[in-house]
C-alpha cells in the first residue's frame, strides 16, 4: 500500500502547523487554517499541540522529548524543527513512516520559488535540506491514516 499522506503546501508563511494537521486529516489546508490558525497562532491564548489535536479529534501519542524518541512505528510523526525560512522560529513538518522507510512532508515545499524545505533524502534541488535536528511532538497511527484516507477516496 505504501505511504498514505498527500503533501499540501501551507497557504501563508506562518500556517505550517495547520497545514500539517490538514495533511493528517486529509482535509484542505485552507479549511484547517480557518478552523484553528487564529486560535493557535494569533490569539493571546496559549494553545498547546495537545489542545489543537484534541479539538480536531486526531488521536495521538505524545512524547517526552527528554526520552529522545525516534521514528519506530508505521504512521506519521508531527515534528518540530528550526525554520529554514524565518530565522529564530520553529517549523512544523510531518515524517510518515512505512515499512522501515520514511518521507518528510514539509508544508514549505511549494510556498515560494525560494522557500527552503526539509526532506529525508536530497535530490539535487538547492532548496532542500536533509532533516537532522528535530523534536517529535506526537505520533498518529497508520490505522487512523488508513481510515481517514480510505474515507476521502470513497
Strand partners, 105: 94
Cβ(16)–Cβ(93) below 8 Å: yes
Residue pLDDT, tens place only, 8-64: 999 999 999 999 999 999 999 999 999 999 998 877 788 999 999 999 999 999 988
**pTM for the whole structure:** 0.93
Residue pLDDT, tens place only, 95-105: 999 999 999 99
Percent of the chain with pLDDT over 70: 97
With a cut of 90, say whether residue 150 has pLDDT above it. no
Q: Which domains does the chain have, with CATH numbers?
A: 16-153 (3.90.70)
All three cell numbers of 103? 518521507
What average pLDDT does the chain have?
A: 93
Amino acid at each position: 500500500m505504501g505511504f498514505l499522506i498527500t503533501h499540501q503546501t501551507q497557504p501563508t508563511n506562518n500556517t505550517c502547523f495547520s497545514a500539517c494537521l490538514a495533511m493528517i486529516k486529509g482535509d484542505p489546508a485552507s479549511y484547517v487554517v480557518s478552523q484553528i490558525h487564529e486560535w493557535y497562532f494569533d490569539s493571546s491564548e496559549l494553545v498547546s499541540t495537545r489542545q489543537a489535536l484534541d479539538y480536531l479529534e486526531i488521536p495521538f501519542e505524545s512524547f517526552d522529548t527528554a526520552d529522545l524518541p525516534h521514528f519506530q512505528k508505521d504512521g506519521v510523526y508531527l515534528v518540530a524543527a528550526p525554520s529554514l525560512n524565518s530565522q529564530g522560529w520553529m517549523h512544523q513538518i510531518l515524517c510518515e513512516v512505512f515499512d522501515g522507510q520514511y518521507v518528510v512532508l514539509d508544508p514549505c515545499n511549494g510556498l515560494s520559488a525560494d522557500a527552503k524545505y526539509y526532506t529525508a533524502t536530497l535530490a539535487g534541488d538547492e532548496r532542500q535540506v536533509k532533516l537532522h535536528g528535530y523534536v517529535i511532538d506526537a505520533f498518529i497511527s497508520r490505522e487512523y491514516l488508513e481510515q481517514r484516507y480510505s474515507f476521502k477516496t470513497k
